[in-house]
């Protein structure tokens, strides 16, 4: 797998670039942990994924053909949202959503340079809703020491703001049925803000989009449905890596 998501956009690829390539540093920083990819909050195993090298591509060829057309809109002014779902886990939804996030960063970065503009430092954000819910539990359950509660609440609210405001976001696994009203309300706030402000979002879920009316409310469900394309993932689980 390529070590830089810009590989496919450089004539001849990135094999001729050295470690001090300014564009690679812009993507991942000098240490490989920073830059625009680092600020996006992607888990390490997803940071070099693109639509071309995604391991989920082979099992979902028609979906990836459609997503190539979708990604071609990145860098423009009218990027839509998408809802990736399947009843079975491990079919490639998270892998695909991560590849889309990297594509957005790469294409938006290149488009800004083409226009002679300085690319924004924060272009996208990945929110793992399950991990975020664990932070919520870490400061709301009874009898938590203040030091532990603060250690969980600070990153929780920091991630909430990033997920709200990022120009492009992945909200991974939003089908949170077993959640408190408070947590569900915070997730509702993120989604409502993004929909209201026309910020493109990739949702992944194990629930069909119609069930979002029960998870949240009918009004928010209607707004999600009206502003994104629904893409069902087929096939059986391919859990060998996180999918």
Angle between helices 129-140 and 181-196 (to 10 degrees): 130
User: What is the per-residue pLDDT across 119-157, written as a single tens digit (0 to 9) for each?
Assistant: 999 999 999 999 999 999 999 999 999 999 999 999 999
Q: How many structural domains is the chain composed of?
A: 1
Compute the CA torsion angle 118, 39, 136, 221 (nearest 10 deg).
50
Residue 188 belongs to what domain range?
47-232
Tokens linked to 210: 């119609």
How many CB atoms within 10 Å of residue 135? 20
| Predicted local distance difference test score (pLDDT) of residue 219 | 86
Q: Count the helices and strands in the chain (H runs, E runs).
A: 9, 5
pLDDT tens profile 2-14: 568 887 776 666 6
Residue 102: pLDDT band (50, 70, 90) is: very high
The answer to whether residue 80 is domain-embedded is yes
Nearest to 158 by CA among 190, 120, 121: 190
Compute how many other C-beta atoms are within 10 angstroms of the C-beta atom of residue 61.
9
pLDDT tens per residue across span 177-188: 678 889 989 999
| Predicted pLDDT of residue 200 | 97
Residue-level pLDDT at 240 = 44
pLDDT (0 to 100) of residue 8: 76
pLDDT on residue 12: 60
Is residue 125 assigned to a domain?
Answer: yes
The CATH number of residue 94's host domain is 3.40.50.300
Q: What pLDDT, on a 0 to 100 scale, did the predictor assign at position 107?
A: 94
Q: Do the domain assignments include residue 79?
A: yes
Residue 209 is predicted with a pLDDT of 92
From CA 11, how far away is CA 143, in angstroms rounded?
58
Dump pLDDT digits (tens) for 223-240.
888 889 999 998 665 554
Residue 229 has which token pair? 């394309």
- Determine, yes or no, domain membership for 220: yes
24 is a domain residue = no
- Which of 16-30, 144-158, 216-230 has the highest average model confidence (pLDDT)? 144-158
pLDDT number for residue 28: 86
Helix, strand, coil percentages, rounded to 5, for the chain: 45, 10, 40
Kindly state whether residue 7 falls inside one of the protein's structural domains. no
**Considering the entire predicted model, what is its pTM?**
0.90
Q: Residue 159: CB partners within 8 Å, gap ≥ 6?
A: 41, 127, 132, 135
Domain membership of residue 34 (yes or no) is no
| Across 170-176, average pLDDT | 90
- Residues 102, 121 contacting (CB under 8 angstroms): no
Summarize pLDDT for 35-90 with one digit per residue, the tens.
Answer: 999 999 999 999 889 999 999 999 899 999 999 999 999 988 889 999 999 988 88
């Amino acid at each position: 797998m390529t070590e830089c998501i810009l590989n496919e956009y450089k004539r001849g690829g990135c094999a001729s670039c050295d470690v001090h390539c300014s564009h690679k540093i812009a993507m991942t920083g000098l240490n490989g942990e920073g830059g625009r990819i680092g600020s996006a909050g992607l888990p390490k195993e997803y940071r070099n994924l693109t639509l071309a090298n995604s391991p989920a591509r082979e099992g979902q060829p028609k979906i990836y053909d459609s997503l190539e057309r979708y990604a071609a809109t990145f860098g423009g002014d009218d990027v839509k949202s998408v809802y990736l779902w399947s009843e079975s886990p491990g079919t490639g939804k998270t892998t695909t959503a991560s590849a889309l996030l990297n594509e957005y960063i790469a294409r938006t970065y290149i488009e800004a340079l083409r226009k002679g503009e300085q690319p924004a430092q924060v272009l996208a954000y990945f929110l793992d809703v399950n991990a975020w819910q664990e932070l919520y539990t870490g400061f709301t359950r009874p009898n938590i020491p203040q030091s532990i509660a603060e250690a969980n609440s600070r990153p929780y609210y920091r991630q909430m703001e990033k997920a709200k405001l990022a120009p492009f976001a992945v909200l991974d696994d939003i089908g949170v049925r077993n959640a408190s009203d408070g947590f569900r309300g915070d997730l509702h706030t993120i989604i409502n803000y993004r929909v209201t402000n026309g910020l493109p979002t990739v949702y992944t879920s194990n629930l069909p989009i119609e069930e979002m009316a029960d998870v949240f409310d009918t009004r928010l469900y209607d707004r999600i449905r009206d502003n994104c394309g629904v893409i069902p993932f087929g096939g059986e689980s391919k859990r060998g890596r996180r999918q």
